[in-house]
Structure 1
C-alpha cells in the first residue's frame, strides 16, 4: 500500500547517494519524491591521489552530478545544506533557499578537523574536502615550474597521510626532481601489519619520503615548530591529522559518535530522530564503527534506497551490517600500490592495477549511467 507522497531530500552526492539515484524510479513508485541537494560536481576519493600525483588528468576523478540526477529524473539543487530546523522539518541551503522535507538523508563526506590547523605563517592545505587538492597540486606545480623541489611536510601518520605524501612525491618525480617529503606522526604507525609498514617505509625512504615522530605546534615561513623545540623544513604543509563530519552534522543536536560523526542504527537512521538518515564518512553505525572509506557507502546504497522507499509504503526497514574486513589500496604515486585486507597485504604494481580497475570501473559505470559517451 502506498501512502501520501513523501519528500526525501538527499543531502550530498557521496558514494551512497549516487547509488540511490539509480533507484529513483523505484522510490517514485513507492510514493517517495527524492530531491538531491549537492554541488554539481563529485570528486571521487578513490582517484584523488592519482590526480594529485599527475598519473591521471583532473577530469578523470570528477563526475557530473547534475547530469546523473537528470538522467534518473531527480530534481537537483546545486547547493549545500547549511542548517536544519528539525522541528519545522526545513533545510536552510547555501543559496539562501529553504526546503521542506519529510525525511532527509546525509551523505556529505568528511572534512579535515579544524583543530589540527596551526598558528603562524605559511601555506596550509587540508586533505579534505577533496576539492581543495586542486589548489595544492597547482601550488606544487608553481614550485616545480621554477625547477625547485619544495620541502613538503604531511602532518598525520595514518594511511591518508602516507598516501598523500607518496602522491606528492610522485608529482615531484614526474618533474624530474628529487622529493623532499616528511611524514609527521605523533607515534609510530600501526594501521597495517608490521611487515607491510616496514616494507612501505623502506620503499618510501628510497624515494626521499621520511618519517618523523613529534607534534607540530606552530608555523613560521619555511618551517614547522614541534612541541620539543625542533624545527622542520616546510614550504608546503599538508594536514592529514584527522577527519570529522561537516559542521551541519554537529549542529543537528543529535547523538554523535566519539569521532563526531552522526550516530545511526543498522537501518541508517539517526538514533535520535528516525526522519534523519546518514551514510558514509559523516555517520557511524552504533556498535559497528568503521573508518571513513567509500566501500561502506557503496555497500549501504541498496539498503538506504530500500528504507527510503519504505517511508512511502510502510514496509519493514532493512538493516545494514558493514563487513568486518574490507579491501583498501593505497596509490603510492610511482606506479605501485599497497593493498590491505585484514592482516593480508601486497605491495607492488599488481595492487595498483587492481585499484585502477575498481576505481575506474566505479566512475565509468556512473558516467555511463548519466548518458556520458565514454571513449575507448
Structure 2
C-alpha cells in the first residue's frame, strides 16, 4: 500500500512529465512544417510568372476581307475578322529544379481544377486525331463554367516535362480568351512537390521578343522589349541561372522600346537543348523566356501559285523550282493539290530535307513536319 503523500508525489511527477512531453511534442510538430517548407524550397521553385496577351495586329485585317470569301445565308460576304473579336493569350510559369534529382511535371491546376483531366483527349476521332476541349470534359459543370471564366484553357504543356537537376522548365497554358479575372491562381504539380503560382493578368512586363543563335551555336542575340518604355534597357542577363552579363554587349536606343543583347557563349550549346534567359532591370523587373536552341533560316512564304505543265509532277516541279529561284522556303496552304501530294510523298519528304523548303499546316495530316500550324 502506498501512502497519500506517495500517491500525490506520483501524480505531480506524472503531470510534470506529461506537460514536458507535450511541450516537446508541440515543438517537434512546429519544426516539421518548417523542415517540410525547407525541403520544398530545396526541391523546386517558381522563378517567374507572366500572362502574354495576343497582339491584334489590326493593320493586317484587310488580308481577311478579300473578294472571293464565301458568302453567308443572307448572300453577304462572311467577315472572318473584326476589330472587336476578343483575343486570348498565354500564361508562362518558369520553374527551376533546385534539387539533386530530376523533376517530372505531371499536371497544372487552375484554382484547384486539374487540366490533365479538363483538357484530356476525347474518345472521338476527327481527321485522324482525338480532339480535346474543356467544354466536353468529363468533370462537374461548375468546374467547366469556372474554366470558361478563366479564359477557357485550350492546351497546356511543360517544356521540358522532365527537368534535370539545376535545370529550368516553361509551363505554358494557352487560353482562348483573356481571363475574366485580375489574378489567376494555379499550381504546377510535380512528382516531388506542388508549386503554387500567382499570375497577374493585366500587369505590363518586359518580355523577350526573340532569341537567335548563330549557326554554330556559340553566339546568341537576345531581343528585349519594354512595352511603352523607350530607352529602358536591362542591366544584366542570366542564362540557365548563370550570369553572362560580362560576356554580353547591351545595345539600346532612347527612341526605341527594344534592346539588343549580343552574348558570346563560353562554349556552344547543343541544337535542340533547352535554355532559360532572364534579362534583369534596375527596378527589379525581369523579362524571362525559355526555348530550344535552333539556328534555322528565316522563313519566307507567299500566297498563290502557278499551274504550268501537262502532268501533276511537271506542275509540281515547275512551281518548286520557281520557289527555289526566288528563295521562298515556306509553302503556304494556298498551293495546288499537285504540290501538296508531292510534298506528302516519300520523294517529296527527301526533297524537303535536301532543299530546306517546308510547309505550314492548317489541318492535321496535310503537311510533313510543318514549320507552322
Where relative contact order (Cα < 8 A, 6+ residues apart) is larger, the structure is 1
Task: Give the TM-score normalised by structure 2.
Answer: 0.19
Task: Give the TM-score normalised by structure 1.
Answer: 0.19
Give 1 or 2: higher helix fraction: 1
